[in-house]
Copies of this chain bind each other. A is one copy, B any other.
Amino acid sequence: MNLRVRFAETDQMGVAHHSAYVIWFEAARVEWLRERGLDYRRLEAGGVSLAVSAISVQYHRSSRFDDELHVAAALTELRSRRVRYRYLVTRGEERVATGDSLHTPVDPNGRVTRLPTVWLEALEKHVTKP
């Protein structure tokens, strides 16, 4: 997905605050699903959320207000109780940041559950080897 760095996302160092990338990764996951005909809202409506159990970000270059960034997401691991995504943030040809998120399917009470079979099957063909 493409996005513009919002003014509110900058900090007094004049760059996008490092917490903004975590939010961009999430937005990129949602778009990644949509581009594959899947809808995260429908997953949640079915009673399953993908709770974030770990996240990591490596910041290679800073980004600034109004920069146009591309955030690529890739599904790198898919199991019934564990889903992993990898991210790459670029500005034109430059690598701005990379990252990784690990997810656990949970029910509406926050208890670990299994990813529904229909979702496993729909996602299977989109797994990228890391």
On chain B, the residues within 8 Å of A10 by CB distance are 11-12
Q: How far is the CA of A18 from the CA of B62 in the complex (A)?
A: 22
Instruction: Mark out the residues of chain A between 41 and 87 whose CB falls within 8 Å of any chain B CB in the assembled complex.
Output: 41, 44, 49, 51-59, 62, 64-66
Q: How many A residues touch B, CB cutoff 8 Å?
A: 38
A contacts with B: majority SS: mixed
When A6-B27, A66-B41, A110-B62 are in contact, do A14 and B12 touch as well, CB less than 8 Å?
Answer: yes
Verify B54–A57 contact, CB threshold 8 A: yes
Give the interface of A toward B (CB within 8 A).
4, 6-8, 10-15, 17-19, 22-23, 26-27, 30, 39-41, 44, 49, 51-59, 62, 64-66, 106, 110
